[in-house]
Copies of this chain bind each other. A is one copy, B any other.
Amino acid sequence: MKKKLQSITNKIAAPMTIAGILVIWELISCFHVVPTYMLPSPVQVIHAFISDFSLLMFHAKVTLVEAFLGLLCGVLIGFVLAVMMDQFEFIYKAVYPVLVITQTVPTVAIAPLLVLWLGYGIAPKVVLIVIVTFFPVAIGLLEGFRSADRDAVHLLQSMGATRIQIFKHIKIKSSLSQFFASLRIAVSYSVVGAVIAEWLGGFSGLGVYMTRVKKSYAFDKMFAVIFLISAISLVLMYSVDVLRKCCTPWENRRAIRK
């Protein structure tokens, strides 16, 4: 009984906090503590969201397609890199530092260069998303592969297992939990990356919408699109969690046991 109560309290804690923040925010706006043009009220934002709903959905679709393509390529590249670095120490030594360097370059600085090199189409956007997503995936997978118990590898070796068998039976599985943790990050990066990429130009997408409403001094719409982006990220991250649960049944049972 006590446990049940606690579980309910736990479940509503976050929604309650968010609701609290929204109420305070609405009050601040209502009593004009800060002027509307500095901070639109939640009601205004919702209103803006509803009135521009179909337009937002149109742009969101474009952004999602870009994010998905970029993420897909990013994950593939990350996977290939991780496998190569795991299997060949020399590649690891040669490539890893270069990868780290690529991550210290401010995305927003190279974004315009990408357009210059790759044009306006979807290419520079996908490349930008790849740049921000492949790294967490590669690192997550690599660490996952390396987390494979050395003795477990020895055991398989003693059975005469090939490299590929060892990879298949131990490394892949050992890396899944880390992989999904990274994927969760990458998914969120991919959405934000798509938005930034769209600022670079194009015809549609939430990033384009954002720049235009900004120029129209429509802060309520600005907030509406920020929230939409946030919501999309959250939904995608949640999907990753669901996917992880399906792919790692052994973790679930452990969790239940706790």
**A residues whose Cβ falls under 8 Å from a Cβ of B:** 9-11, 13-14, 16-18, 21, 34, 38-39, 89-90, 93-98, 100-101, 103-110, 112-113, 116-117, 188, 191-192, 195-196, 199, 210, 214, 222, 225-226, 229-230, 233-234, 237
Contacts and interface: CB of A to CB of B under 8 A. Distances in A.
Q: How many copies does the complex hold?
A: 2
A11 to B, nearest CB: 8
A49 to B, nearest CB: 15
Contacts of A117: 34, 38-39
B196 A106 contact: yes
A39 to B, nearest CB: 7
B98 A21 contact: yes
A101 B230 contact: yes
11 contacts: A9-B93, A14-B96, A16-B94, A39-B117, A100-B234, A101-B234, A104-B237, A105-B226, A105-B229, A106-B196, A109-B210
Contact of A109 (B14, B18, B95, B229): B229
